[in-house]
């Protein structure tokens, strides 16, 4: 199966952005009575250094906004990338804000917003966007190592797979959906941008696939 297409940035640029931002610690999933998605988004916007980004991602997946396959944001995301390629940072930031209104955990929107804020000389805003992007990426990295089904990276939406591959400097060539031991995984054949080495990466896609299953088979809701 051919890898699913998705607009992206140069992996080296994204890696540089992520590595230059402050890290975030591993956090446990949300518990009953935990802060709501809206509360966590508000804390992210204030630059809360102790924000639980795993909880933020999980809260998004439990919110009415949840769109694991990006069907509602495809055109808007494409327009954002096109604006970045032509150097129109005002348009990039406007598109990014529209994306955040629907999906605040959209990694690429934070990365592009951070790059544009830097180009515009808005240092504080640049650091804020980088911190959020890094926090989101770190929370995925802390879920596994991606080397096998048992240690697959756990994602809540398809876009996270491609964002993480770019951050790791890996270029996908093929993707296959596999099922094993009661779970579902996306298996990517990739190649390192730096060394050309072939790397296989696994993502646990139980959560987004469950949504697709409910949509295709509503009688099982």
pLDDT digits (tens, 9 = 90+) for 82-123: 999 999 999 999 999 999 999 999 999 999 999 999 999 999
Q: Are 40 and 21 in contact (CB under 8 A)?
A: no
SS3 assignment for the chain: CECCCCCCCCHHHHHHHHHCCCCCCCCCCCCCCCCCHHHHHHHHHCCCCCCCHHHHHHHHHCCCCCCCCCCCCHHHHHHHHHHHHCCCHHHHHHHHHHHHHHCCCCHHHHHHHHHHHHHCCCHHHHHHHHHHHHHHHHHHHCCCCCCCCCCCEECCCHHHHHHHHHHCCEEEEEEEEEEECCEEEEEEEEEECCCCCEEEEEEECHHHHHHHHHHHCHHHC
Written as tens digits, the pLDDT of the chain (221 aa) is: 444 433 333 333 344 334 333 333 333 444 567 899 999 999 999 999 999 999 999 999 999 999 999 999 999 999 999 999 999 999 999 999 999 999 999 999 999 999 999 999 999 999 999 999 999 999 999 999 999 999 999 999 999 999 999 999 999 999 999 999 999 999 999 999 999 999 999 999 999 999 988 877 666 55
CA nearest neighbour of 14 among 75, 97, 81: 81
Task: List the CATH code of the domain at 11-141.
Answer: 1.25.40
Contacting residues for 160 by C-beta, under 8 A, at least 6 apart: 107, 136, 140, 203
Long-range contacts, stretch 186-195, CB < 8 angstroms, 24+ apart: 186/161, 188/3, 188/161, 190/165, 193/11, 193/12, 193/169, 194/169
Per the listing, tokens 């909880």 go with: 55
Domain spans, the chain: 11-141, 153-220
């Amino acid at each position: 199966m051919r890898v699913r297409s998705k607009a992206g940035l140069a992996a080296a640029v994204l890696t540089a952005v992520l590595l230059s931002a402050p890290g975030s610690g591993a956090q446990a999933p949300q518990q009953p009575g935990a802060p709501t998605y809206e509360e966590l988004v508000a804390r992210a916007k204030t630059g809360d250094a102790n924000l639980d980004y795993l909880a933020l991602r999980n809260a998004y997946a439990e919110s009415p906004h949840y769109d694991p396959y990006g069907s509602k944001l495809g055109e808007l995301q494409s327009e954002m990338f096109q604006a970045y390629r032509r150097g129109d940072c005002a348009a990039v930031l406007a598109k990014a804000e529209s994306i955040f209104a629907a999906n605040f955990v959209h990694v690429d929107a934070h990365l592009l917003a951070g790059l544009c804020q830097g180009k515009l000389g808005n240092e504080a805003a640049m650091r804020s966007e980088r911190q959020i992007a890094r926090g989101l990426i770190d929370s995925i990295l802390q879920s596994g190592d991606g080397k096998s089904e048992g240690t697959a990276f756990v994602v809540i939406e398809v876009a996270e797979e491609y964002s993480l591959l770019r951050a790791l400097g890996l270029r996908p060539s093929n993707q296959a959906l596999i099922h094993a031991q009661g779970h579902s995984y996306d298996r990517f054949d990739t190649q390192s941008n730096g060394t050309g080495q072939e790397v296989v990466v696994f993502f646990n896609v139980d959560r987004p696939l469950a949504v697709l299953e409910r949509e295709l088979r509503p009688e099982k809701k």
